[in-house]
Amino acid sequence: MPVLTRLIPSPLTVDISRGALDDLAGLLADQRISGSGCLAIAISGGSGQALRERLAPDLPDADWYPVADGTLDSAVKLADDIKGKQRYDAVVGLGGGKIIDVAKYAAARVGLPMVAVATNLAHDGLCSPVATLDNDNGRGSYGVPTPIAVVIDLDVIREAPDRFVRSGIGDAVSNISCVADWELAHEVHGDPIDGLAAAMARQAGEAVLRHPGTIRDDSFLKVLAEGLVLTGISMTVAGDSRPASGACHEISHAFDLLFPKRSAPHGEQVAIGATFAMHLRGAHEEAALFADVLRRHELPVLPGDIGFTVDEFVQAVEYAPQTRPGRFTILEHLDLSADQIRDAYADYVKTTISS
C-alpha cells in the first residue's frame, strides 16, 4: 500500500545562532542559493545600513538597495529597480519586518528566491508566505513564496531595541489564542482545520510562553526566533494566516485602522488582544497566565499600558470583526454589544490584576 505524504514548502536553510552573519556569502554558496554572490540586497536606513558596511567587503558582487518604507509603492519600486539590473541569484531582505516584507513582494514580482536576514524579532512575518504592506487604502496582505533561507544572528538581535524583541514575544504567545479561534470555527461552522499547522503554531506559542528565560538569555532568544519561524511555516502549511491570526489580530487591526497615528507595535496590541480573547472564551486561568508572562517580559496587559482609554478599547473590540470579513473567532461567536464588551473588560481587569 503506498505511503501518502505531502510536500511542505519551507526554507532550505534556517540559521539561528550567534555570529550567523559572519559568513553569509559562504552559507548561501554552500546551500547553492548563490554561488556567484550576485545578490540584490534590500536594506533599511538604520540597522541595514550599518550592516552593509560590515558585510559589503565579503559581498563584492552584491548590489544594495535602500528601502524608504514598508509600502506597496516601495516594494514595486524595488522590483522595478532589480529588473533593470543584472541577473541576480536571489533577493536578500536585510532588516526588520518592513524591509523583509518589501523584499518578499519584490522577489515574488521578479521571480527570484528571497533570503530573510532579520535584525529584530518584532513579529512572525520573517518566514511567513505573506507580505504586509501599506497602501492607499491602509494596509494589505499579499501572498508570496516562503523565503528560501532565514538567517538570524543573535548578536545582531541583541543590538535591536528591547521593545522590538518584546513585541515578538506578544506575537508568538498570541498563537495559542489564534488556534483556539480556529478550533472554535471548526466546531461551530465546520471550517476546515489543518492539524499540523495548528500544532506547529500552538507549540511555538507554548514554548515561548513557558520558557523561564528573558530577552537577555541566548536560550530564550533562540526559542523565540524558532517560534516565529515555525509560525511562518505553519501559515504556509495551512495555506493562509489562520494559525496565527484570530480575534487578537482583529483587535490589533482595529487599533491600526481607528487610531493610525497612535497604534502601538503589532506584537503589543495582539498580546493584549490574545489575553482578552482568552478571557472572553472563559479560559480565565490561561488568561491570567498570559498576563503574568506578559508582565514578566514588560509587555502591556491593559489598553492603558499602550495609551488607549477603556472607551477606545471597547470601540476597537466592537469594530474588530469588520477587519477580517468571513473570519470566525470568539468575537463573532459572542457578538457582544459595546455595553457587554465593557462589562467583560471590567471582569478581565479583575482577573488580570489578581493574577
Binding-site residue positions: 97-101, 124, 128, 171, 249, 266
Distance CA 213, CA 305 (A): 23
Which secondary-structure segment (H or E) carries 142? strand 138-143
Q: Identify whether the C-beta of residue 165 lies closer than 8 Å to the C-beta of residue 208.
A: no
Residue found by looking up cell 505573506 in the block: 130
The residue count of the chain comes to: 355
Query: Which 8-state DSSP code applies to residue 88?
Result: P
Q: Which region holds residue 50: left if phi is over 0, alpha if psi is between -120 and 50, else beta?
A: alpha
Question: Which residues participate in the annotated binding site for glycerol?
Answer: 124, 171, 249, 266
Distance CA 228, CA 168 (A): 8
Query: How many of the other CB atoms lie within 10 Å of CB of 234?
Result: 30
CA 107 to chain centre: 19
Antiparallel, parallel or unpaired: β 130-135 and 138-143: antiparallel
Question: Which residues participate in the annotated binding site for NAD(+)?
Answer: 97-101, 128
Residue 6 contacts by C-beta under 8 Å, 6 or more apart in sequence? none
Residue 76 contacts by C-beta under 8 Å, 6 or more apart in sequence? 105, 106, 109
Distance CA 179, CA 294 (A): 19
Handedness of CA 263, 172, 93, 20 (dihedral sign): positive
Q: Identify whether the C-beta of residue 132 lies closer than 8 Å to the C-beta of residue 122.
A: no
Distance CA 249, CA 333 (A): 16
